[in-house]
Amino acid sequence: MAATRNSRSSILDISKRKAFLMHLSVSALVVGTLCAIIFYFWYPAPYFDAKGAAGVLRVLIGVDLVLGPTLTLVLFKPRKPGLLFDLSVIAAIQLGALIYGTTVIFQERPYYAVFAVDRFEVISYRDADAAMIDHDALRRKPLRGPILAVASLPEDPEAFQRLLEETVFEGKPDIQYRPEFWSPYSDSSDAVARRARSLASLATEKPEAEALIAEFARALERDISEFSYVPLVGKDRSFVFVIDAMTAEPIDIIDADPWEENTGSTISDRPQL
């Protein structure tokens, strides 16, 4: 009991400035650790921008790194009656924001990148029914980045007609959100290669992307003609998903507009049946 009283007494006796700096340091350590996990494991570039997670992260940082320490600076007075209660309320607010923000960001992390028709779409775990996955390879998520999958239309006419009716009349989602139509990228990369476009043509068509594409090829010490690409579509933005033109092996993602002017495509377009 004496030790507990001494501990409380030491907290109450520190200066306002020291209390603020201590609170800010602890908050910065927690938020910094979380951001490292988010940007390295859950949302490796460019998936953070693709999923539009900045809004939730800004709220989390605002409450935990700005509001919490600021409230401590305003409310903290050595030996103030009820100070421990005030600090407990501040800690509870920060903890609630941390749990909420972390949960939302974790649930929305890019779990799958599914190719359908002519593009990849970034999909969260909860956006697809994992129980419908038939391939074990699609259950093993890499430590960084999403699982790559290819969604294919049924070849059987009856199955295709049934899918069409479910999508058009019953309101069921398109094939990129239905794992029963997925196969691992390694098994169906030829479907991606058939729809891929020349990366050199994109550089010609989009002058604003030319420098980024040239820098990408130069960094790999390869000729730009060795690469193809398909669009990678996120919640708010699209990117250039680069593959090897010969093997269809995924190479990298370039932060550039993937839509060639002569395709007439826009970010709002979605592959439909």
- Quick one: CA dihedral 262, 266, 271, 273, positive or negative? negative
pLDDT digits (tens, 9 = 90+) for 236-268: 789 999 999 999 999 999 999 898 665 444 433
What pLDDT does 1 receive? 47
How many CB atoms neighbour CB 95 within 10 A?
14
What pLDDT does 266 receive? 40
Least confident of 59-63, 177-181, 183-187: 59-63
Residue 271 pLDDT grade (very low, low, confident, very high; cuts 50, 70, 90) = very low
Report the chain's mean pLDDT, rounded to a whole number.
87
Q: Please say whether the beta carbons of 148 and 184 come within 8 A.
A: yes
What pLDDT does 31 receive? 94
Phi, psi (5° rounding) for residue 35? -65, -35
Rg of the chain, C-alpha, whole Å? 25
Six-digit token string for 72: 């401590």
- Distance between CA atoms of residues 139 and 49, nearest Å: 24
pLDDT digits (tens, 9 = 90+) for 24-51: 999 999 999 999 999 999 999 899 988 8
Whole-model pTM?
Answer: 0.82
How many CB atoms neighbour CB 172 within 10 A?
13
What pLDDT does 260 receive? 66
Residues in the chain: 273
Q: Buried (b) or exposed (e) across 202-216, using 16+ Cβ within 10 A? A: bbebbeebbeebeeb
- Distance between CA atoms of residues 236 and 202, nearest Å: 21
Give the pLDDT mean for 107-111.
Answer: 93
Calculate the CA 62 to chain-centre distance. Answer: 20
Residue 122 pLDDT grade (very low, low, confident, very high; cuts 50, 70, 90) = very high
Q: Please say whether the beta carbons of 216 and 252 come within 8 A.
A: yes
10 has a pLDDT exceeding 70: no
